[in-house]
């Protein structure tokens, strides 16, 4: 099983869970399994066309899947997959 970590901002859509362990062979199947268990999380991760939203970054370990095989990136037992939403803000001094 791979473990997927859920950021604080999205935990309310995942039953309050900080992480879940799921059986999956790829990042895409892991995300689909997550959304199957927590359907309201889907609209925060995927567009209406079913594509991963541009402000949602997914990492397997320390590697951004955009620089690997995207949602086809393989996951193995013991891998940690992190959902990292882009955060805007700050101040200009």
In a domain, 16, yes or no: yes
In a domain, 35, yes or no: yes
Identify the residue with better confidence: 90 or 82: 82
Which CATH number do you get for residue 10? 3.10.20.30
In a domain, 9, yes or no: yes
In a domain, 74, yes or no: yes
**Count of structural domains, the chain:** 1
What is the enclosing helix (H) or strand (E) of 62? none
- Model pLDDT for residues 60-82, shown as the tens digit of each residue: 999 999 999 999 999 999 999 99
Residue 83 pLDDT level (bands cut at 50, 70, 90)? very high
Give CA angle at 18 (32, 44), nearest 5°: 45
Buried (b) or exposed (e) across 21-54, using 16+ Cβ within 10 A?
ebebebbbbbbbbbbeebeebeebbbeeeeebee
- What pLDDT, on the 0 to 100 scale, is given for residue 86? 83
In a domain, 90, yes or no: no
Instruction: Please give the residue range of the domain that contains residue 37.
Output: 2-85
Considering the chain, what is the average pLDDT of its residues? 93
């Amino acid at each position: 099983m791979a473990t997927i970590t859920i950021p604080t901002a999205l935990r309310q859509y995942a039953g309050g869970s900080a992480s879940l362990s799921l059986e999956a062979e790829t990042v895409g199947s892991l995300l689909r399994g997550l959304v199957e268990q927590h359907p309201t999380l889907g609209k925060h991760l995927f567009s209406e066309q079913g594509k991963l939203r541009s402000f949602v970054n997914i990492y397997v370990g320390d590697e951004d899947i955009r620089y690997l095989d995207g949602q086809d990136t393989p996951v193995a037992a013991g891998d940690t997959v992190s959902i990292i939403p882009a955060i805007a803000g700050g101040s200009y001094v």
